[in-house]
Each structure stands twice: as C-alpha cells, then as structure tokens.
Amino acid sequence: MLEKVIGCEVERFPLHRKDGYTIDLERMMERIATGPDLVVLVNPNSRTGRGLMAREVCMLLEAASSRTRFWIDETYIDYTGESVEQMVSRHENLIVCKSMSKAYALSGMRVAYLCAAPHHLEELRAFTPPWVVGLPSQVAAVKALEHANYYERRWKETVLLRSALAIDLGGMGWEVIPGSANFLLAHLPEEGPSAGEVVAACRGRGLFLRDAAAMGASLDDGAIRVAVKDAATNRKMIGILSDIAGSTARAARASLARCAS
C-alpha cells in the first residue's frame, strides 16, 4: 500500500535468525538519525515475539530529528510491561497504537485505541470513518480496562506458561526463539518435516498452528508459530506434536529401509 499506492520509499529493517531476530539498536539509531518521515515499529514483533525495552524505544526517539514521526504498534506489549504509551505527553511526534484483541481477549470485538498528541489526532480524524468501533466493542473495552488487576495476573500467568512451553518444544529438538508475547516462534529440525507438513498433520488432529514461512523473507520453511494456551492445552499440544514427530521418524526409517533393499 505504501509503496505501490501512496508512492512512498520504504526501507525495511530485516531481522535474521543468526542474530536471534534481535534488533541491532545502534544500526537502527543510525538509520533513524538520517531523518526519515516515519518510523514504524511493531513492539514486540508480531512474527518473532522479540521486543524492545521502553528505555530502548526512548533511545530511538532521542536519535530522531524533530520531523520524524514514530508509529509504534503495541498489540503484544502488555505481556512485557514495557509500553511507551505514557511517553506521548513528552514526545509530540510519537503515536502509539494499541489493539485489545490479544492481551484482553477481545479479538471478536475488533477494538483498538490510539495515543498521540492532539495535532496528530486532529489530522488522523479526517481519514477515520465514522463509527469505526461499534458500541458493544466500546463497552467491552471500557469494562476490560476497569479490571486491570485481573488482566495483569493473566499476563504474568502467560509468561510462566510460555516458559514451560518453550522448554517442552526445545526438548523435541526445536529451536525456540525467546519471545515476550503470547506465542512462540520456533524452527524445526532441518532433517525433519517442514512447517507446512507439521501444520497439516496437526490440523488432522484438531490442532491449529501457524506456518510462519510466509510471514517474512527471513523465515524459512521450517519456521512455525505456536500460541501459548492454558497448561492442560499446552500439554495436549506437546502430546500431539510428539506423536507426529514419532510418526515422521518411523516413516523416514521405513523409507530408508526400502531404499536399502
């Protein structure tokens, strides 16, 4: 949309597996210091789950010229406690977009909100359609925000469940990327099936995972994304994945035996 319709020049900042998909903060600061019109940052990253600390985002803001705007998507930030939402009062070129679909379990409501200085809000209002968020969604969002303590407990619970799930996936030989969202990105063993094959096999068992290969140029056909669920569901997922891994290994051995004969 930005390149082909609006005609912007877009410079991407790729993350690589060999670096653990971590952001090279110094290199990003150097690029930001050149004076782009807009910096778009998804924090934590929606593919990898990796994120920046609030102080690191502040460093990026300070490296920018006064003409550079920052649009930061914080859909998964509540799992980290590192939001920069409050910084909009000190940085007039900072715009923070907050979806409530994930951390507040309101995906069906399609509700989000935006924090920015008044001059940005007035400019954006001219492009915003009327009634963009329906009344039921508004009511659900307000009620959710009134129960911050409940959600904070659930976010902390998700962190513990994510850690346990990462250990179990790593035990199967998966390369699990340390993340800070409600999912895990992992790479399957090179000698095993592709992510697409595992996803298809899981679908037949009623387990739906994400083939992450199409989510970014730096993700290969062994990249898979697993959502963090409750403890019982996580155990069930590991059981299904272990069965599939065992079936795949047996099939590979049988194939080798046929070739040998």
* CATH code of residue 52: 3.40.640.10
Q: Are residues 97 and 170 in the same domain?
A: no
Q: Is the pLDDT of residue 255 over 70?
A: no
Q: Is the pLDDT of residue 259 over 70?
A: no
pLDDT tier at 258, thresholds 50, 70, 90 = low
Q: Report helix, strand or coil for 38.
A: strand
Q: Are residues 157 and 241 in the same domain?
A: yes
CA distance 147 to 142: 9
Q: Are residues 103 and 211 in the same domain?
A: no
CA distance 234 to 226: 10
pLDDT at 254: 45
pLDDT tier at 216, thresholds 50, 70, 90 = confident
Q: From the centroid of its chain, how far is CA 138?
A: 24
> Which of the residue ranges 93-107, 186-200, 207-221, 242-256 would you say has the lowest mean pLDDT?
242-256
| Cβ-contact 183, 176 below 8 angstroms | no
pTM: 0.87
Into how many domains does the chain fold?
2
Residue 144 lies in a domain: no
Q: Are residues 130 and 153 in the same domain?
A: no
- Residue 208's CATH number: 3.90.1150.10
| Cβ-contact 245, 172 below 8 angstroms | yes
Q: Are residues 98 and 19 in the same domain?
A: yes
**Which amino acid type is present at position 199?**
V
pLDDT at 248: 58
pLDDT at 140: 96
Q: Give the mean model confidence (pLDDT) for residues 120-132.
A: 87
Domain boundary among 102, 134, 166: 134
Give 181's DSSP letter: S
Q: Are residues 184 and 87 in the same domain?
A: no
| Cβ-contact 144, 104 below 8 angstroms | yes
241: left (phi over 0), alpha (psi -120 to 50) or beta: alpha
Q: Are residues 115 and 27 in the same domain?
A: yes
| Cβ-contact 11, 3 below 8 angstroms | no
Q: Are residues 93 and 154 in the same domain?
A: no
Q: Are residues 18 and 128 in the same domain?
A: yes
Residue 139 lies in a domain: no
Average pLDDT over the chain reads 91
Question: Which domain range does residue 33 map to?
Answer: 2-134
Residue 142 lies in a domain: no
